[in-house]
Amino acid sequence: MTKFYPAGSTVADYFTPCAIPGGCEGDKWYTYDQATATQMLKDAGAAGANVKLSYRDVVRGYLPAPGKVAEELQAQLKAIGINATIDVQESGTFLDNASKGNLEIFLLGWGADYPDQTDFLDYHFGKGASNTFGAKFPDLTAVLDKAASLATQADRNKLYADANNLIKQHVPMIPVAHGGSAVAYKATVQNAHTGPLGNETFRIMSVPGTDQFVWSQNAEPLSLYCSDETDGETLRACQQVFDPLLNYKVGGVEVVPGLAETYEVNSDLTEYTFHLRKNAKFSDGTAVTASDVVMSYAVQWDKGNKLHVGNTGNFDYWGGLFGAFLNDPGS
């Protein structure tokens, strides 16, 4: 861990960091046992198997040294009788292949969009998740559906213990590490902050004596059709130009108004009513209406909509968080 990750990082005992409510319920992940692993492969007739280990050569908080980690895993696999060939792919191609389930073994991670288990478990293992981890497990999707429908965290945590145990049982992936933040600023930057959700707000930062703010990150954004992207470096750019219904307090996770000034929720949490900010306008001066907000959801949901095009067309966030698409011939 200390060879490849910065201070503040931890070895992963669960898929989700413990800072997320419900993240570390249930049993911890398996401990390393090389002898047993080697024997199990022999018993299964899989000793000497050849696999392709894929990654994208870009630095992320969850994978700050991708090439070195890949080589380390290659050596560990060799030690138990598996021959891994390292396969480096262009970032966008890699993410598309991962989404479609085209990779054998690969290195990929996740950063929280909001502090809840649904952002981690439902997105990756729920019934609407992409094919990244292969076929869905009905027992796991059923538990996640039930947990997402409850409002009391204590009740949800009991179900997330079951969910974490099922992930450990089915092993669709192996958690490696939870990386710490490495954001740094010059001392001259005013209102500098680090967002726990990777959501730094550039418009409130400045450097005295200049009208320019320079930010350096690990890669260029893949596109600005933000609803069809999952890459954190891309979503950081999206954060600067789009205004969500609700926002998070700068540098924290307290919910504050965004495009919506207020909202109400019905008793069974199935209907949300948002009251938009008065006189909100797009950058060209056009008035923002409720119909515009509805359309921003519709183009993600409806595969038959002419604007449902995006970059790759996967729209992984919609499927992972909402479960299904409208007019989907493959559903």
Give the pLDDT confidence of 64-123 residue by residue, as tens digits: 999 999 999 999 999 999 999 999 999 999 999 999 999 999 999 998 889 999 999 999
pLDDT at 269 over 70: yes
| Average of per-residue pLDDT values in the chain | 93
pLDDT at 270 over 90: no
Rounded mean pLDDT, 239-248:
92
E strand or H helix that includes residue 166 = helix 153-170
pLDDT at 40 over 70: yes
Q: Which residues contact 290 (CB under 8 A, 6 or more apart)?
A: 276
Angle between helices 138-148 and 153-170 (to 10 degrees): 160
**Gap between the Cα atoms of 185 and 188, Å rounded:** 8
Are the CB atoms for 200 and 69 separated by under 8 Å?
A: no
**Confidence band, pLDDT 50/70/90 cuts, at residue 215:** very high
pLDDT at 181 over 80: no
pLDDT at 1 over 80: no
Rounded mean pLDDT, 31-59:
95
Backbone φ and ψ for 326, nearest 5 degrees, come out as -85, 145
Sheet harboring 105-106: ordered strands across? Answer: 82-89, 49-56, 105-106
pTM: 0.81
Percent of the chain at pLDDT exceeding 90: 79
At 82 the three-state DSSP class reads strand
pLDDT at 3 over 90: no
**Gap between the Cα atoms of 227 and 36, Å rounded:** 44
Tokens of 297: 């959801």
Domains and CATH numbers, the chain: 10-178 (3.10.105.10)
> From residue 129, how far is each of 78, 136, 138 by CA, in Å?
31, 8, 12
Rounded mean pLDDT, 274-295:
95
**How long, in residues, is the chain?**
331
Tokens of 213: 């703010």
Residue 284, Ramachandran bin (φ over 0: left; ψ between -120 and 50: alpha; else beta): alpha
